[in-house]
Amino acid sequence: MLPLKTCPNRNILRRGSTYLVSRTVFDRAFKVVTKSSAGQSPEKATFRFSPGPVPSRPCLFLKGAFLWSERFNAAKGASERMRFKFLNLYFAVALQCFALLFIACHSAHRSTLTLSVAASLQDSMMEIEAAYQRDHSIEFRNNFGASGTLAREIEQGAPVDAFISAGAKPMDQLESEGLLLTGSRMNLVRNSLVLIAPLGSSLKEFGSLTERQVRLIALGDPVSVPAGRYGRQTLEALHLYDKLKSKLVLGKDVRQVLTYVETGNADAGIVYATDAQISHRVQVAAVAPENSHEPIVYPAAEIKRSQSEAVAGDFITFLRSPTARAIFERHGFKMA
């Protein structure tokens, strides 16, 4: 392998005819390939740009099979060597500038979409976003959490393009305040509620929660977590809530409730069926009757002050596509 040499421009390293150019702010790298034939002069060399993967080292690789590089190595006179050395540096710097300008123009068209999404959708949304990115130049900024908390952040001016809630109430609140783009709201998927316990537990039904061996029951905070509100409704419908209030430990979102049960910090918990499905450390003890709580529907909508209205609208439409549907259903959701 040829040794690395530093050119007079300290930002350029050379290994033979390969130039390594300093890179700090660009998302992508491009290979710059030159084509030349025997007898062709440097001035007539042509260049072709093709997209390449981001290199692990912070530099752009500018590779040129320069005809004059061979002549430079064969040159004997000092003046001839200096002339070709100057040409090498001149064209390397020119290629650097042209490549960086090309990348900057390309990157300028890359969109960014900021989403606030219910925590229970995290795994399925990451897959759906990856599928969408295969055909779109876009970056996602995700904020996963309790739907009520996310709604309050939007009310307070958080820069969000679209919101997907785990219940109608947080979305209703934003709609009543005129924060949703008119006509963009739609019901996306449905879920069910289950009672979970650590693997090996003898718990088999909601009624067994009153037994002495069940000391702590994890539940999402009903004030901000839709799953917690549905859980409370279920316990009230089964006439168990007043008996179990002293055993309840509240979580900030449904994933925290799942963690409490997985780690044994709670003897039982109430979560969505889709959350129970992703864990290998809990078992489903019982399914909440559908008539014991409000319908569990996940609405999605664009935020009126979004700076990427067209992109947000296109992505929300994609959420109803066959590709997204297959991902949702694989994670246990049902289309609304």
Average pLDDT estimate for 229-251: 98
Contact between 166 and 120 under an 8 Å Cβ cutoff? The reply is: yes
Residue-level pLDDT at 110: 75
Residue 212, phi-psi category: left (phi > 0), alpha (psi -120 to 50), beta (remainder): alpha
Place 27 in a pLDDT band, splitting at 50, 70 and 90: very low
For 110, other C-beta atoms within 10 Å of its C-beta total: 12
* pLDDT over 90 at 13, yes or no: no
Place 266 in a pLDDT band, splitting at 50, 70 and 90: very high
For 131, other C-beta atoms within 10 Å of its C-beta total: 15
Over the stretch 127-139, which tens digit does the pLDDT of each residue have?
999 999 999 999 9
CATH of the domain spanning 193-292, picked from 3.40.190.10, 3.90.25.10, 3.40.50.620, 3.40.710.10: 3.40.190.10
Over the stretch 137-169, which tens digit does the pLDDT of each residue have?
999 999 999 999 999 999 999 999 999 999 999
Over the stretch 169-221, which tens digit does the pLDDT of each residue have?
999 999 999 999 999 999 999 999 999 999 999 999 999 999 999 999 999 99
Residue-level pLDDT at 249: 98
Average pLDDT estimate for 27-38: 36
Name the residue among 23, 106, 29, 113 with its Cα closest to residue 311.
113
Six-digit token string for 164: 């997907």
Name the residue among 210, 293, 170, 196 with its Cα closest to residue 251.
196
Per-domain residue ranges for the chain?
5-107, 111-190+296-335, 193-292
Instruction: Name the 3-class secondary structure at 186.
Output: strand
Place 88 in a pLDDT band, splitting at 50, 70 and 90: low
For 323, other C-beta atoms within 10 Å of its C-beta total: 15
Which of 19-28, 191-200, 209-218, 252-261 is least confident?
A: 19-28
Whole-structure pTM value: 0.67
Residue-level pLDDT at 212: 95
Q: What ranges make up the beta strands (E) of the chain? A: 5-6, 12-15, 18-22, 29-35, 46-52, 59-63, 111-118, 138-145, 162-164, 186-190, 193-198, 217-220, 248-251, 268-272, 282-287, 297-302, 334-335
Cα–Cα distances (Å) from 281 to 121, 196, 197, 198, 213, in that order, read 19, 10, 9, 6, 19
* pLDDT over 80 at 77, yes or no: no
| CATH numeric code, 111-190+296-335 | 3.40.190.10
The amino acid occupying position 246 is: S
Matching CATH topology for 111-190+296-335 and 193-292? yes
Identify the residue with better confidence: 307 or 101: 307
